[in-house]
A and B are shown apart, each in its own frame.
Chain A
């Protein structure tokens, strides 16, 4: 993909990859959850890359820092959309939503996984995280 930067956290999505996928975990009782937490008896599994928007909202105020990693000020903060995308037969994943204005978001619309730079570390390197975008 030629994207610079490193994942914000390990084992959240397959990386580096031309076709990344989120990594879920199946526990010893067969229950699938996201993310894979590396618990005893938990097996990692790649999740579907497309699903349907299950619900959404927009974060319109600057979250408390920490835990929020963004270093912007109240004035610099730009609202972001988030929601749950239902991956068919798997799980509903909480995710940032990109490439779509809030007024265009509709429950049930098809969404696809993408990897995006979210923050920069102190060395100026991009920190990558997953998001979902509308299927064009």
Chain B
């Protein structure tokens, strides 16, 4: 079977853009991606897109042009972008289409996500007593992980320090000031053991990608980046997930390792062959756990990895080279595609001040979200 090419990428800067709706940010990203690919909107045969809080993606046609193309909205929580990408990947690999768009955008209110317990099959009291917060879940997950695997606060701080250092080099990032180790270590405790500068914030942003079949890609001037694998998976029995009034006493596998295995099998390569990775870092703890859950290190090795700078831009496996969710914020519909955007940019060698200083052949992206979903992609030059 043939691969799928990414031939164009576009991004609307992340952060807060009060004078632009989420849909307008989405259209901005699409125009940039079309320009990058060197194709016109009228040549795009199909689109998959989504946002959680910023409107229906297919509304974009009223701005971009009423060409009559197939446009399917995707709503899959934190895996919205990844799910849109997988859908487009399938549409091209099946031979149905040659050229398509994937777009994700969002615009959330300030502060923590407001949760309606009924949407998650939860009793109302679960929210009433003050439990329905994603921050608590991440804190309890890393709290136990640290106790089991000897991870210390030092590693949590170093993850955040790296994120903001990378964000400072990224003109599209929301948080572009490098924070010192001490600033992070002394920031307000939010949900023990996680502090203010260890959490990302809901935000705004948009990303668009143009995908093509190998034959169509050959007609374009830009050298494509190849999508070698795209996998979205749900949780196994007994995994520890957000919004769980109770858990099984028998530990099970979460969505991330299942998605990672699926993606590595599709690509036919292993974690050792990945040159850079973008791993969901909703907070410092998530990046640490996701390093192991995706197969890049053993549980507990993160302490050494972070201390030795192995995930910094010049390290063995640079992680979250654009500053991740910590520096870019979390617009749910856009985050997964931001990771792909960054990976394409790095593989092309176009990442500017934050370009990883070695020859890159492969990249990996990973998102995780409620209620236990994960989407992984593997890209290669």
Contacts and interface: CB of A to CB of B under 8 A. Distances in A.
Contacts of B188: 60
A64 B111 contact: yes
A35 interface: yes
Nearest to A12: B125
A114 to B, nearest CB: 14
A57 to B, nearest CB: 4
A67 B249 contact: no
Most chain-A CB neighbours within 10 Å: which of B116, B123, B129? B129
Given A8-B125, A56-B140, A102-B192, A67 B246 contact: no
A89 B125 CA distance: 25
B136 A82 contact: yes
B47 interface: no
A68 to B, nearest CB: 5
A67 B140 CA distance: 21
Contacts of A119: 128
Most chain-B CB neighbours within 10 Å: which of A57, A86, A118? A57
A57 B130 contact: no
A94 interface: yes
A59 B139 CA distance: 10
Interface string B96-140: 000000000000000110111100000111111111110010011
Contacts of A31: 248
Interface in A12-49: 12, 24, 31, 33-35, 37
Contacts of A98: none
Given A60-B189, A64-B114, A67-B117, A93 B246 contact: yes
Given A59-B191, A84-B140, A90-B249, A67 B132 contact: yes
What is the interface of chain B mostly: helix, strand, loop, or mixed? Answer: mixed
Given A55-B144, A82-B136, A70 B130 contact: yes
B143 interface: yes
Contacts of B43: none
B133 A63 contact: yes
B247 A68 contact: no
A53 to B, nearest CB: 10
Interface in B173-208: 188-194
Contacts of A56: 140, 143, 192
B95 interface: no
A123 to B, nearest CB: 17
A9 interface: yes
Nearest to A22: B246
B129 A84 contact: no
A106 B334 CA distance: 38
B17 interface: no
A57 B192 contact: yes
Given A91-B248, A102-B192, A107 B129 contact: no
Interface in B226-275: 244-249
Contacts of A96: 129
Contacts of B132: 63, 67
A135 interface: no
Interface string A47-81: 00000001111111101101111100000000010
Nearest to A119: B128
B236 to A, nearest CB: 14
Given A35-B123, A91-B249, A69 B192 contact: no
Contact of A54 (B129, B144, B194): B144
A24 B246 contact: yes
Given A82-B136, A94-B245, 4 more contacts: A8-B129, A58-B191, A67-B132, A93-B246
Interface of B: 111-112, 114-117, 123-133, 136, 139-141, 143-144, 147, 188-194, 244-249
CB-based closest 10 A-B pairs:
A67-B127, A57-B139, A34-B246, A69-B128, A55-B144, A9-B125, A92-B247, A55-B140, A91-B246, A63-B130
5 contacts: A55-B140, A56-B140, A61-B190, A63-B132, A107-B144
